[in-house]
Amino acid sequence: MSVDPTPWPGPDKGALFVVTGASGTGKTTLVKAALQAIPSIGWSVSATTRPPREGELDGRDYHFLSHADFDALVADSALLEWAAVYGNRYGTPRAPVAAALDAGRSILLEIDLLGARQVKAAMPEAVLVFVLPPHAGAIEERLRARSTDSEEVIRRRVSQADDQLAGCGEFDYLVVNDVLDAAHVRFQSVLWAELQRRARNPRLVSTFGRV
């Protein structure tokens, strides 16, 4: 039997990865490196009601919408998740994500705990990954080491971080970011493993299952 020598193109059914972690846990650093290392995983362009900033392009940085258009998406359940932030709203359009997954492309969302819960309710098959600090007091230590915030600000940010961390038990995978190089390996291993699942690769089963 001849076998196509071209590299594995990726799964037939993509994965929706939802990455959450308290501010200061390094999740954005892990996400950026993973997107460069795994080309089959893409980034979802969010919708927002805020006006574009200098240099931003509609459809590349955000989908810039009027409040009325955003209201329509919410009413039509066309957003996987959304939230209000400082008077503007941000959300993840459902249709582009679903189209990408059906085409075998995977999508990664970096959102907060409430957004992750919304996505899981809308798409139960989503893979939830939580990035944890090396120990419980690490975030407070980092904030105090910066020596740039008042005591009130530090307490508020630590409280917010604790609220996020309290939800880690709802996630499928927990990645501890203690040593950055090791955390990159752990995080990307989770993504790669999910892409190899048998259920995402029926063509491989049909090709090799009768060998």
pLDDT in tens, the chain (211 residues): 444 445 677 899 999 999 999 888 899 999 999 999 998 899 999 999 999 999 999 999 999 999 999 999 999 999 999 999 888 999 999 999 999 999 999 999 999 999 999 999 999 999 999 999 988 777 777 777 776 777 888 888 888 888 889 999 999 999 999 999 999 999 999 999 999 999 999 999 998 987 5
Question: Domain locations in the chain?
Answer: 16-44+104-208
Which CATH superfamily hosts domain 16-44+104-208? P-loop containing nucleotide triphosphate hydrolases (3.40.50.300)
Instruction: Write the single-letter amino acid at 57.
Output: L
Residue 117 burial (C-beta neighbours within 10 Å; 0-12, 13-18, 19+): middle
Whole-prediction pTM value?
Answer: 0.87
Bridge partners of 84, per DSSP, are 89
Judged by DSSP in three states, 192 sits in helix
Contact criterion met (CB below 8 Å) for 20 and 177: no
Nearest to 119 by CA among 163, 201, 29, 110: 110
Distance, CA of 210 to CA of 19 (rounded, Å): 37
